[in-house]
A and B are shown apart, each in its own frame.
Chain A
Amino acid sequence: MLKSILGRGLAVALAIGLGSSAYAQDKLKVAMITSESGLGDRSFNDMMVEGMKKAEADFGAEYVVIQPRAVSEFQSAIARAAGQGFDIIIGSSFDMIKPMQEVAKAFPDQKFGLVDVGPEPLGPNVVSTVTKDWEGSFLVGWIAAKTTKTGKIGFVGGKDIPIIHRFFIGYYYGAKMANPDVEVFESYSGTFTDPAAGKEYTLALINEGSDINYAVAGSTSAGVIDAAKETNTFAIGVDSNQNYMAPGNVLTSMMKRVDTQAYDMIKSIADGDFKGGEVLYYGLAEDGVAAAMDEYNDGLIAEDVLADVDMLKQKILTGEIVVPNYFDLEPGQKEMGKPPMATPPSVADAK
């Protein structure tokens, strides 16, 4: 109570403190708040700036990038940007959920956006997105099954937990749909922070004949990629484009397109159809996930496999294909997805 009164009083003072905005009034103005790792992370922050640049090119949107040094600085950074004439303030970190909610409450007229978070709405003036990582995993599973020479592919998860199972299920479904005979190994290193363990687990999979391994394991993934490099097999990166980490040995990366998601938020402002409180889902059809293609994996994937991507996208859009979300599955469920397919043993046998 006291806090919100205080907050409003301070908003006025802030406006005085900052003086008039430096921007012309007719242009679209965006503030992007990076996560604490800031620009140059070769990950979400850098990717999101790409979305900003695209919006700048397409709608003449002006953007500024505010880089807090620590999670504790998120709230003050968002709060001081609020009420400064920005059309939207977009954040790029899961840790911004609470700070953004707080500030959004105090500034009901300010529009906010937050990418790649959970399904819960964050407030009447906040748009948030959920990335359908299972669809992205489906896509790379398809590519892996079409590319493997041994007919065996692997998965290295950080921990044996539901959120990681979601990636595996998508990957499995995609691989089996591409080639029902392909074998998919499932493994969990038990850690998100130990590259050495990642390498260990990956080498074990390679030993069993797997020649493409999908790493969904935080910094443990570095070990998966390292193992691929050492044995001249392939790894698949996750979240952002990790192809650069071992050129020629990272087949592709399951990229969460936070640039598209941020771009769409700005677009909704430009089009005047911003709907606060919405939670938008970004899957393959919405270009919210993608298999990263760049100079580092040029030529590793066959042309006809790449051509499949549009086909898959189309089928997902029409509902012909529905990639199963692990959270919708029941323990012991025998079939999943549309068209239906046998669930992997880890789910099918679970009680």
Chain B
Amino acid sequence: MSAEAAVPTGGHFSLAGLVKPLLQPLIAVAIAVVVGGLLVLSLGENPFEIYWLLISGSLVGWPNFLVTLQMMSPLLFTGLAVAISFRAGLWNIGAEGQMIIGALFAGIAGFAVDLPTFLHIPFCLAAAFLGGLLWALIPAVLRVWLNVNEIVVCLMMNPIALLFSGYVSTHLLKAPGPTNKLPDIAETAVLPTFSLYSQVNAGFIIGLALCLLFAAINGWTKKGFEWKIMGLAPRFAYYGGIKVPLHAVVVMMISGGIAGLGGAEQVLGEYRAFYDNFSPGYGFDGIAVAMLANFNPIGVVLAAFLFGALNGGSAVLQMMTGLSKYLVQVLQFIIVLILAAQFTWGWLRSRKNAITAQEDRLEPETEES
């Protein structure tokens, strides 16, 4: 985590404290906008027109706005999941797999169980949370007890989740018909949608509430405080009496559970059945969202909104200009690239500082006295 990202606020707010954390992501977005504009220009289109279409296609008018909310819904969950773990120094890049398993659990709980609505939805949500949690538990346990790098394990768990859920939805429990999916969930498990134009559903509210909840946890609770210290300086946290291994497992489980809830939002609210290969990469987009958000849950809401708007506006852009959907993806990739560059630069810088500090420590220490 870079120096800027670490500017603490806690319970204390100042103007600088509010603006500074926004600076880095804003720069990334600004550069992406400029590069994207040049790209559009090279395609012979007017960048201002294109950007206006993107903005109006995602924000102006209820239908467009609701589509944006739909597009951002899964990112609220995966972004928050990644942000929570990254903030605590755990590189959970397995949100994709955890979301898929959560979706699978929700999909099974949705069709296989007969319950009244007020029980069925919470039951499916709990199943999804549990699914994501279990999937995240594997890298967490390997990390804490066997010191296996969680990045590698998470990375491997993603395709395993995809293939496993594919096996279930094309073999074990496949619904009749040409599509590889589970049977439709019962009406009692459906998260209600509000509009013909958009599949945005009650899951959006859940995601938003979770982000607010974790903003409060991060800012005001002992756990939130300890997770932050743990993320920035794990040895310090351990020496300071924080149960780092235990917390690491807990944070990974919460992170996985939230990603799993993202899967429930998809299945219960948007698809109404578990579809094989349903995700176009929401878990990976979540990493970008979390980075853009500086691992801040409120930032996750803003970053997810930005990505949602880009994707929401994309369809209108394609409709009105014939420009491909890839323009929007290119914009997203540029943002990610710049964030990654900023991140790596900050990391290299702090590493360099650490090395210099170490040389200082090893060599010239006693002379000062």
Interface residues of A (CB under 8 A from B): 3-4, 6-7, 9-11, 13-14, 16-19, 21-22, 31, 36, 38-39, 64-73, 75-77, 79-81, 84, 94-95, 102-103, 106, 163, 191-193
In the complex, number of A-B residue pairs with CB atoms less than 8 Å apart? 124
Pick out which of these stretches binds chain A: B59-67, B150-158, B216-224: B59-67
Question: When A17-B61, A84-B319 are in contact, do A7 and B271 touch as well, CB less than 8 Å?
Answer: no
- Give 7 new A-B contacts, CB below 8 A, not counting A10-B61, A13-B63: A38-B325, A39-B324, A79-B198, A80-B197, A94-B177, A94-B178, A95-B179
Complex contact A192–B170 (CB within 8 A): yes
Question: From residue B237, how far is it (CB to closest CB) to chain A in Å?
Answer: 39
B195 within 8 A of A: yes
Distance of B33 from chain A, by nearest CB (Å): 21
Contacting residues, chain B, for A77 (C-beta < 8 A): 315
Report chain B residues within 8 Å CB of A17: 56-57, 60-64
The A contact surface, by secondary structure, is helix
**Known contacts A6-B194, A36-B280, A102-B196; A79/B63 CB under 8 A:** yes
Q: Which 5 A-B pairs have the closest CB atoms?
A: A17-B61, A7-B196, A72-B270, A69-B280, A14-B63
**Interface bin, chain B:** 35 or more
Shortest Cβ distance from residue B170 to the other chain A in the assembled complex, whole angstroms:
5
Q: Which of B303-328 contact A (CB under 8 A)?
A: 311, 315-316, 318-322, 324-325
| A64 and B278 alpha carbons, distance in the complex (Å) | 24
Partner of B319, one of A31, A69, A191: A31
- Does B279 touch A at the CB level, under 8 Å? yes
**Which residues of B are in contact with A by a Cβ distance under 8 Å?**
56-57, 60-64, 66-67, 70-71, 166, 170-171, 177-180, 194-199, 266, 270-271, 275, 278-280, 311, 315-316, 318-322, 324-325
Bound CA span A46–B35, Å: 29
A103: chain B residues at CB < 8 Å are 196
> When A18-B316, A79-B196 are in contact, do A72 and B278 touch as well, CB less than 8 Å?
yes
For the complex, give the distance between the alpha carbons of A191 and B169 in Å.
12
How far, in whole Å, are A77 and B278 apart by their CA atoms in the complex? 16
Contact B318 A66 (CB under 8 A): yes
Chain B residues, CB < 8 A from A16: 60-61
Bound complex: CA of A193 vs CA of B171, how far in Å? 9
CB of B318 within 8 A of CB of A80, answer no
A17, B55: Cα distance in complex, Å: 10
8 A-B contacts, Cβ less than 8 Å apart? A3-B195, A18-B56, A69-B325, A76-B67, A76-B198, A77-B315, A191-B170, A192-B180
